[in-house]
Chain A
Amino acid sequence: MSPSEPLRRACHPTMSADLGQTATQENTMKNTDIKRLLYTHLLCIFSIILSIFIPSFFLENFSILETHLTWLCICSVLVTAVNLVSYLVVKPNASTKRSSLSYKVTRFLKCCIYFLMSCFVFHVIFVLYGAPLIELVLETFLFAVILSTFTTIPCLCLLGPNIKAWLRVFSRNGVTSIWENSLQITTISSFVGTWFGAFPIPLDWERPWQISYILFSGMAHLLYAWSDLWLRGWPCYFATLDILEQKATYIQEQLTGTQEEFLCRFHKDCAEMYMV
């Protein structure tokens, strides 16, 4: 499975000069998208880090291990807020058609219901995985909430309450844009992180963080952050690739065009590269 398939397809450069121009335009569009994506993810990571440090200013006796429930709440609220804000600001799939207010309200309500439903479904899944049914029920539910924050809310923001679109995105080759690609990667790595997070539970080190829910969420965080970083790395990689290939076209031009023109363009390009 190659998550970068659409990216590669979109950015494959053409050797002809005319098509090169259009490709550059596409590239600039994509570059802005990549930058937006980068900022969104940076913001998300930043909010998670903030959720660790900020509460200690307001709350007494705050620490991740002891008052983990508060921390989970704060973290999920912050991440939700950041996701919503970035969605409203960036609007990755802003449709041109105007929709009525009532439509918007029903859509919002639907989103809320979907979120709650996902929380309950996750809770049921955790219980099916072996979480105790009655004791620690609050912990389990909060963990379900935070996992839904990491997975359901971005989906709701990007795709709306549309199950078919979700299933499309999460099946092979169903991704159509870079936003959906990032969504796929972050969500799947959150799940995988949660899954891996269960591994240290049976170890007999008798550490406080070994209690399942903290570990689950901790690992989910880590994986989420990691996937973000990874995502940030990929677009940069592609951007540099594009620029290098543009350079190749310039070298071709050099064979035909004048030297000064080439040098001038090359310097400009280098400057662009530095900016990126």
Chain B
Amino acid sequence: MRLGCGAFAAGCVLVEVLGVALFLRGFFPAPVRSSSGTEHQAESPAPEPSAGATSNWTKLPPPLFSKVVIMLIDALRDDFVFGSKGVKFMPYTTYLVGKGASHSFVAEAKPPTVTMPRIKALMTGSLPGFVDIIRNFNSPTLLEDNVITQAKAAGKRIIFYGDETWVKLFPKHFVEYDGTTSFFVSDYTEVDDNVTRHLDRVLKRRDWDVLILHYLGLDHIGHISGPNSPLIGRKLSEMDSVLMRIHTSLLSEEREAVSPSLLVLCGDHGMSANGGHGASSVEETNTALLLISSAFERRPGDVRPPKLVQQTDLAATLAIGLGLPIPKHSVGRLLSPVIEGRAMREQLRFLHLNTVQLSRLLQENVPSYEREPGFEQFQVSQKLHGNWVRLYLEEKNSEVLLNLGTKVRRQYLDALKTLSLALSRQVAHYDIYSMVVGTVVVLEVFALLLLSAPQALGSAAELEVPLSSPVFSLLFYLVLLLLGAVHVSVCTSTEGSCYFCSLSWPTVGVVLVLVSALLCAVLSALTRTCVDGKLLRRNPARTNSKWSELDLLILVGTVGHVLSLGASSFIEEEHQTWYFLVSTLCLALCHESYRNCFLGDNGESPCCLRVEGRFVRAAPTVKDKSTGCDVLELDRVCTKPSSLDTLRGCEKAMVLASPWLVLGCCRLLRPLNHTGVQWAHRPDLGHWLTSSDHKAELSVLAALSLVAVFALVQSRCSPMSRVAMALGLLGIYCYRASIGHVLLPWQRGSTAVSRGIIEARFVYVFVLGILFTGTKDLLKSQVLAAGATVKTVGLWDVYSGLVLLAALLFRPHNLPVLVCSLLIQTVMTKYIWRPLKHGAAEVAVMHYWFGQAFFYFQGNSNNITTVDISAGFVGLNTYVEIPAMFLTAFATYAGPVLWASHLVNFLSSEPSSGSALRRAGFCYALVCSAPASVYVVLVTALRYHLFIWSVFSPKLLYEGMHLLVTAALCVGFAAVDQARVQSRSGRAAAS
């Protein structure tokens, strides 16, 4: 089957979108969440179960400890405390572990083993995932239910010294804090001295309940010189002495206090063999956890090896210890040794509270929770507990009671273990299998696009798509069979939840067929390319195709941009890459136009030659077509020769000046919105304009921009849409005035600010009207074979409708971006692309680059916070999901969309463009899918990177969204192209 390469590319991008969607679903695991949300309303705690008799204990049990000191040492691996290093360098701690009143554990941290997610895990008991970032919308504050917030709500006074991350997570929770920054990794003494210097003063004071110390020095030493460095020993001794100071001070205080205090020594993550952290090796996940309190009595000679527990268990334990409700999303279980010394009734009450919390979380997250073994165990133990309470209330202090209580306790512990496991399985890991399937689809599509590029960009711009051969080939069935076997074996062997496995069988079958068909197609394309390459090598005369400097720049720029996505800084500052590339493109165009004008063949300026050439070329078409279908083209051609001599100098000057004009426009737009990270704090023009003092300036700017938009768009519109455009732009100004952004000249004083619903809807009517007129023209040109003029006008109407919509949705200070985009498009069309006769592929890539640059000129970045959500509420009374999402997406991607639709306009307005649009569509698809496909692989490789959640994941979402937009645009390209082909054939049939 022969297929136009535009349609082929559109199909490819659509399949690629499917692959990316599957990858995203696997990359962002479904979170374990309680539906009651983030609000911290005081829920009454679960009452003690009782069978028949009424229990009088419905309140939360009192706190076990009066004071809690948490000493968090960054990168405290388990063997630093319990291993030979601990014996050597931490004598006091070793003494406490061996003989003192303490419980020691090895706490297992879940990847990513990076400080911030670990702190979250320690304090909330949940496993933080990407959804936190979406929920918090990148505000660094921890909004989830956690121990610190609960403690603050309960009136506890918390003091914090150490890593700044805590202050960012809990900005208003500490009565006193001193954050140290962990940026300068080479400093490992100052960071800790800054924490220790407060100790003396704080330990003497009695006015706090919780003290948190976070020491960074050990982690820094690990980063500098690894876990075997002599510096580690020195640091451990220092930490040991700090621990001793705190412990003795607590002990001396305890003599006067009623209830004991608790000292927690823990690490947030471990340290790998070369000193780093972030991944999931045993050295990185196993941390030391030591709970010290005089309440933990131990018989002499009772030596227990440290038990392996989860890091998340600490949150529940701390909550119980401080007499607080357990955080809602905690998947941890109470560390049972902590409550061992208490009375049996209390022990059972604590365990019951924890089990109820976990089972509630399970009910909300697992639809078939009743069949879960943990839930069944919970119900059994709750019943037993009720019986025990009844017995207890009837008679006290008997042997039977104790034995029965021990049994109930064991039952509870089992239930807790099963519940906790079931919950943490849900979020533990990336869903690698879905990710791999998605990646394979994406890469296959990309390889197919790349391999078919030589054929598609050839003269015919058509592709031989062998549809029948892969379906009937042996290879296809073999691959399909193999994939099916792999699927079955993977899905039956994995323990964790896997999205791709949970899909229904027909869906999976379709995906597998797709994967194997793509594989066959790629292989056949590869063999074809090899054969062609051999043929080419045999007659080397044909390989003499030349690469111009511009082609080279486009190639280097595209490849360089794709490679730059591997570095987090380049993702943060991606706008700089695009500005840089666009500026370089302008300079290259400048070079080209200068060379053409000054060094043209025969000493004649080629731009003039080009004009004449067009005349010569257009002349036969005029002769051929007796019908006046090309009136517009004819007019232009006929007027040209008469004014050619006068225009020559002027046009030449414009050709020479236009690259500089474009460069100047881009430079003017740069300070409008500073995005990115490093330079985002600089004062920019946008803030200056939007501040209420400069409303008059903003009004003038907006009015001028709207007038300029009209001036630039109207010349090629149909008369009706010209009027609609003018009214629509007027409506936009009224909308902005009513919403209070700009001033109306006849308005004095402040008027009531409304939401401008009527005005916005007024504009929407015109947008829809213009779009409708344009589409009608397009359809007319297709069905009635009306000719190219109608079609060109129709396309331009659609384009101007989009411009009007963008003008409505843009923030008022961004209107100059729209004007500059239109201006650059006009100038480039007139003075660069036409005179210099660039190929369709080059023009397409240039449109893509400019579209990307304008995406960032609008103020977007690779951070989710910069999405302008207010665009989704324009003209809507309430939040309606689908229109709001569509409007937000359009406002965000207005730059790329407008440039792509201009590409369609430009190529179809070119006479005798033939297959140009198809080639451009293919090129556009190829250039857009390159970063997406490479980025998918990069993210998979970097999934344990330090910045995976903060930098790489938002970019992944942006990439996915961009690919979706590209798919829509490519379908549009293919549709317009198809209409073109049909209209041409229809015309041929008519004549």
Contacts and interface: CB of A to CB of B under 8 A. Distances in A.
B569 A168 contact: no
Contact of A202 (B576, B587, B664, B667): B576
B772 interface: no
B567 A201 contact: no
B569 A203 contact: yes
Given A164-B599, A203-B567, A130 B584 contact: no
B576 A201 contact: yes
Interface string B858-878: 000000000000000000000
Given A125-B587, A129-B583, A202-B678, A167 B664 contact: no
A181 B678 CA distance: 42
Interface string B667-695: 10010000011100000000000000000
Given A130-B667, A164-B598, A164-B599, A202 B583 contact: no
B579 interface: yes
Contacts of B584: 195
A260 interface: no
B598 A128 contact: no
B595 A127 contact: no
A235 B616 CA distance: 49
Interface string A148-189: 000000000000000110011001000000000000000000
B667 A167 contact: no
Which bracket fits the contact residues of B?
20 to 34
B663 interface: yes
Contacts of A168: 599
Interface string A23-36: 00000000000000
B572 interface: yes
Contacts of B598: 163-164, 167
A127 B569 contact: no
A168 B677 CA distance: 44
Interface residues of A, number: 16
A170 to B, nearest CB: 8
Contacts of A164: 598-599
A198 interface: yes
A28 to B, nearest CB: 34
A198 B569 CA distance: 14
B580 interface: yes
Interface centre among A125, A164, A202 (most CB of B within 10 A): A202
A203 B570 CA distance: 7
A167 B595 contact: yes
Nearest to A206: B183
A84 to B, nearest CB: 27
A261 interface: no
B633 interface: no
B569 A204 contact: yes
Contacts of B567: 203
Contact of A127 (B573, B576, B599, B667): B667
Given A164-B598, A167-B595, A130 B573 contact: no
Contacts of B570: 202-203
A187 B569 CA distance: 30
Given A128-B667, A204-B569, A204-B678, A198 B580 contact: yes
Interface centre among A125, A127, A129, A203 (most CB of B within 10 A): A129
Contact of A128 (B577, B594, B664): B664
Contacts of A125: 587
A171 B583 CA distance: 20
Contacts of B579: 129-130
A203 B951 CA distance: 14
A129 B573 CA distance: 15
A203 B577 CA distance: 12
A201 B575 CA distance: 13
A217 B373 CA distance: 69
Given A130-B579, A204-B678, A171 B595 contact: yes
A218 B670 CA distance: 26
A215 to B, nearest CB: 14
B657 to A, nearest CB: 13
Nearest to B567: A203
Nearest to A201: B576
Contacts of A203: 567, 569-570
A130 B678 contact: no
B663 A128 contact: yes
Contacts of B587: 125
B572 A202 contact: yes
Nearest to A188: B549
A129 B599 contact: no
B430 to A, nearest CB: 26
Contacts of A167: 594-595, 598-599
Interface string B560-583: 000000010110110011011001
A167 B567 CA distance: 38
A202 B577 CA distance: 9
A168 B599 CA distance: 8
B569 A202 contact: yes
Interface string A184-216: 000000000001001001111000000000000
A201 B595 CA distance: 32
A235 to B, nearest CB: 25
A202 B599 contact: no
A223 B677 CA distance: 30
Contacts of B676: 202
Contacts of B664: 128
A1 B550 CA distance: 14
B545 to A, nearest CB: 13
B670 to A, nearest CB: 6
Interface string B743-769: 000000000000000000000000000
A201 B583 CA distance: 16
A125 B588 CA distance: 13
Contacts of A201: 576
A273 to B, nearest CB: 34
A5 to B, nearest CB: 14
A168 B598 CA distance: 10
A52 B604 CA distance: 49
A204 B576 CA distance: 14
A130 B594 CA distance: 23
Contacts of B576: 130, 201-202
A148 to B, nearest CB: 16
A257 B587 CA distance: 61
A133 to B, nearest CB: 9
A98 to B, nearest CB: 30
A130 B670 contact: yes
B580 A129 contact: yes
Contacts of B569: 202-204
A128 B579 CA distance: 10
A198 B581 CA distance: 11
B542 to A, nearest CB: 19
Contacts of B583: 128-130
Contacts of A127: 667
A2 to B, nearest CB: 12
A234 B398 CA distance: 100
A168 B664 CA distance: 27
A179 B689 CA distance: 55
A131 to B, nearest CB: 10
Nearest to A163: B598
A125 to B, nearest CB: 7
Interface in A99-154: 125, 127-130
A201 B666 CA distance: 20
Contacts of A198: 580
Nearest to A195: B584
A104 to B, nearest CB: 26
18 contacts: A128-B663, A128-B664, A129-B580, A130-B583, A130-B670, A163-B598, A167-B595, A167-B599, A168-B599, A171-B599, A195-B584, A198-B580, A202-B569, A202-B573, A202-B576, A202-B678, A203-B567, A204-B569
Nearest first, the 6 A-B pairs at minimum CB distance are A202-B573, A128-B663, A203-B569, A204-B569, A128-B667, A129-B583
Given A128-B663, A171-B595, A195-B584, 4 more contacts: A127-B667, A128-B583, A128-B664, A202-B569
